Structure 1
């Protein structure tokens, strides 16, 4: 009965907490300054990108070093659609679908590979994407990039543009995290986990490692396209620099630091991707790269499961310290017994005690 009551109270507490966070997020852009709103918007943008990367790397255990390519692709598709007068819902769907189709085509070829081979395939995506974006200037604007404005606040909303952008990013980010949560907690999530642990065992259980890896890579690409849509909503400009390989490595580092195989860790990773460079650039721009490497090494050594595991580690250490006996209060020990008495049978022990009493 107590366990049922505890579960019910935990569920109520979780619902109250989620409701409080939702209300806070809805009210935040109305009271925060412009800079804070823009920072939160960027966190949402990259949290979706890290979330997609987490599905293919954290949950399925496959290497993907080209997630930024799909972010840039989604941004370019969004800019093209907006500048050609497409409906904004159609633009969002096109950014996700086109990125997903390209990701599917890459996955169909790369999923049969493993280890270093699939890493090389995904590395090639941003390396090829940058010169390709420069050459296709009719669609991408070439080296100068392309801009598109579609996230300015409409007159009927009575909001500022930064507030309107915040709500657009909040809506898409919340939907992406809800979809990812349902995906990884269902049968596909279980298939991801089995493939990550052992592909031979997965095949023996009727789970196709090839189809599972293709699915994970395609889903990650769709999330990358959605992140590209949000990126253009926030920045309203994209260029070949968006596709650079350095950004892709930073996304991988953000996923590891936030927590691989964790939905909440993806949000922490997005916050890390945005906030740490801002802080280090404010101190010393030349310190940014070194600080990010130092943070990555520290997390890998101290928190291998990422920052999302910090509360669990703290609880474990606290519990271990509370169960440790206090100094000076050594546990009570039984009085020492004579080896003869300890080893002798019960009748002989009584005889020995009688003798000792008689002699006394």
Structure 2
């Protein structure tokens, strides 16, 4: 409890300690962590392919920009940015959830491929190739905050609510249904769980989170264009999810940090190294930590336990004498001098 309170205090005080660049970096991490969280629901927890999550981020960004320029209430804008991508995701899922493997991958790939030229054509709503800007996240005078601090708190409230909702979702009955469908659809059907409707639900939830991340994207960047939903960004989101940890709420936050920080670091060294570095890190994580960076503490504990348990024992009692009488009780070799182990519970 004390650590939780301390963490909350640190998160609330952090924007007053960091410079503007630090706050802006945290804001961007929150934006993409929400998008990766939605991707984790449909891929990490339900085991379905979704290569078009960036499309829903872009759609949410365009809905947000349009609502702001039309003077809508900001709460209405947030709701619209979640609902409209959710409805589009539902329609796609109704058609695609019966597919599997390569077929559903091709359907989701088509989303950003179609979305980019569509955004360029609908210039009345999207600003065409030039994009559209929308400013609603500047700090009001009564707050006494700078713009980067105000934006930090906007992302903190929306992203925090999203992570809490996702945590309750995956730990409840729907999360158990996701897990069963992921492991074996035949078993899910035998248990009375519809794999089709479970996939539809997961995909729709992922779309809603994508739309929410689009809202946060406008809050952070205050501008969007067709390039926002390009297919390359979708692949980067997928790689960030795998590196952070598929099927993990905390892994989504780590993935968001990877998505933002690694390009910043590699661009500072050599912009040509960005893609190469991401590829090398992805391969390293897949080989060394198949469950992502979120499993690193568990892997280190397991390694330390293995080393301590594998050390030679000193002062071991001597073995039984070979001159024991015929009536002596036999000793079970399975329990003789066996090291005591404690079962561990996988997270």
Q: Is TM more than 0.5 here?
A: yes
1:113 aligns with 2:99: yes
1:25 aligns with 2:6: no
RMSD of aligned Cα (Å): 1.4
1:43 equivalent in structure 2: 29
In 1, the alpha carbon distance for the partners of 2:75 and 2:319 equals 78
1:316 equivalent in structure 2: 302
Segments of 5+ residues of structure 1 without an aligned counterpart are 1-14, 348-360
Q: How many residues align?
A: 328
C-alpha displacement of 1:311: 0.4
1:204 aligns with 2:190: yes
- Picking from 32, 46, 68, the partner of 1:82 is 68
1:59 aligns with 2:45: yes
In 1, the alpha carbon distance for the partners of 2:284 and 2:225 equals 33
Q: Which aligned runs of 4 or more in structure 1 are off by greater than 6 angstroms?
A: none
Q: 1:85 to 1:314 in 2, by over 3 A?
A: same
1:156 aligns with 2:153: no
CA displacement, residues 238-263 of structure 1 (integer Å, 9 cap, x when unaligned): 00000100000000000000000000
TM-score by length of 2: 0.92
C-alpha displacement of 1:264: 0.4
- Picking from 90, 106, 113, the partner of 1:127 is 113
1:167 equivalent in structure 2: 153
CA displacement, residues 264-295 of structure 1 (integer Å, 9 cap, x when unaligned): 00000000000000001001000000000000
C-alpha displacement of 1:346: 4.8
Normalized per residue, which structure has more helix?
A: 1
- Picking from 173, 179, 203, the partner of 2:165 is 179
SS at match of 1:64: coil
C-alpha displacement of 1:315: 0.6
Segments of 5+ residues of structure 2 without an aligned counterpart are 329-347
Higher-Rg member (1/2): 1
2:240 equivalent in structure 1: 254
